[in-house]
Structure 1
Amino acid sequence: VLGAGATGVIAYNDLMAIGTIEGLADSGVEVPREVSVVGVDDTIAGRVNRPKLTSIAMPTQEAGRSAVDLLLHAIDLPAGRSAAKTTLETSLVIRESTAPPPGAK
């Protein structure tokens, strides 16, 4: 991460983010002083981890229901018609695993 000049990582989910933090620590990289890490799904594991994980909270159950509804709607559409879209509320929950990049004022 550091060799590539990255100052932050967004992981696929909180579990992967926690693993990334552990891997960075094993390599001597301090989170968030050197690299910020963000997870996705705001799980309990991220809230009890050290450092506490910054995460993107999203309504996963609602997302699953919406995906099925959209798929069923798309199946019923005549060829060439565009499918419906939906937007779900998400939020960034800032905790201890993120900080301004090194050298930022």
Structure 2
Amino acid sequence: MLTLAASAFFTGIAGAFYAAYQRNASIDVFGMSLATIILSMVLLGGTSTIYGAVVASFVLTIFAEWMADFGAWRPIITAVLIIGVMLAYPSGLAGMIRSAWGAVAGRIKRPA
């Protein structure tokens, strides 16, 4: 119950900051597309880590800006990218980073 209260508190604070930033408070601001993007960031980053979601948010934001000229194809290409990463790395980008780090660390520790 304490976790739910803390989550609601921080969500309210974030909403207040966002409303002050936008100078507008409306239910239309947070539509289904924003919820889908946030869920995609969490799933792509890995549900077990915070840093995976942070990395995924940077990757998806940069990718969305890079793909801006593709118009209606952008969500399809993004979905294919997310599905591809999730099939290759079920634990998301965090799992990919962990496995890459393990491979690099394994090569460094091996004697020549």
- What is the TM-score normalised by the length of structure 1? 0.29
* Greater fraction of residues in strand: 1
TM-score by length of 2: 0.28
Q: Flag the structure with higher helix content.
A: 2
Higher relative contact order (CA 8 A, sep 6+): 1
